[in-house]
Amino acid sequence: MKKKEILDLYTKRYNFLQEAAKDLKSDLTNTFDNIPRTEIHIDRIDTRAKGIDRFVDKALKEKDGKLKYQNPINEIQDQIGARILVLYLKDVENVGNRIHDYYTNFEDINKEPDNDHEFKYFGRHMILTMPQEIRDKYGKENIPVVFELQIKTLFQYAWSECEHDLNYKHIEGGELGKEEQRLLALSSAQSWGSDKIFDELLSKIQK
């Protein structure tokens, strides 16, 4: 597909995506309304429609010299994204379990470094079916069948936002140098350690 065609198609559905994202936030919030904060410690729930420019950029990405997506409107799964931020590591699992009870799951991945000696990105990513009532409200031609959900601790979220900003928004002329990469790894290790410490403290207090 040509850039203009992708731009036109996505622009036409963008308002629908924004409204559907708002409804999805309400649906996710209701899923946890009756859960005591002593059981699951949620800081906040956010949803968004993927920005037009970012969607077009992703749709035009290449792999092995060819476009990665032949039909990006139907293939790109994070046109509507949700994020649940929690206080403790154990909450990531508890939130995930609750989500599995209420949403149909296509994919569930705990993202972490491949090597045990590395410290980089941590987070749980899920691809879930959009609630039927939201799909019916806006029409399958206007919103995707699925949405992406990320579940992260506040430390994981803060690190990923800073890492993304440094790597992709303000660094020109290539990747970060070795020293900068080491500093990022150090900050990731400290974030990971902080999550572990707070989880341990919570366990001791709750005994």
Pick the most confident of 62-71, 140-149, 195-204.
Answer: 140-149
Residue 98 is classified by DSSP as H
Within a domain: 180: no
Q: Is residue 192 part of a domain?
A: no
* CATH code, 64: 3.30.460.10
Window from 25-29, 122-126, 162-166 with minimum mean pLDDT = 162-166
146-157 average pLDDT score:
95
CA diameter of the chain: 60
CA 165 to centroid of chain Cα atoms: 16
- The stretch 182-205 carries a mean pLDDT of 88
- Express each pLDDT in 39-69 by its tens digit: 999 999 999 999 999 999 999 998 888 899 9
Helical (H) or strand (E) element with 63: strand 62-63
Report how many domains make up the chain: 1
Residue 24: CA count within 13 A, CB half-sphere:
33
162-185 pLDDT tens trace: 887 777 655 555 666 778 778 888
19 domain-assigned? yes
Q: Is the pTM of this model over 0.85?
A: yes
Within a domain: residue 60? yes
Mean pLDDT of 181-196: 85
On average, the pLDDT of the chain sits at 89
Q: Above 80 in pLDDT, residue 101?
A: yes
The residue segments making up the domain with residue 51 are 3-157
In a domain, 205, yes or no: no
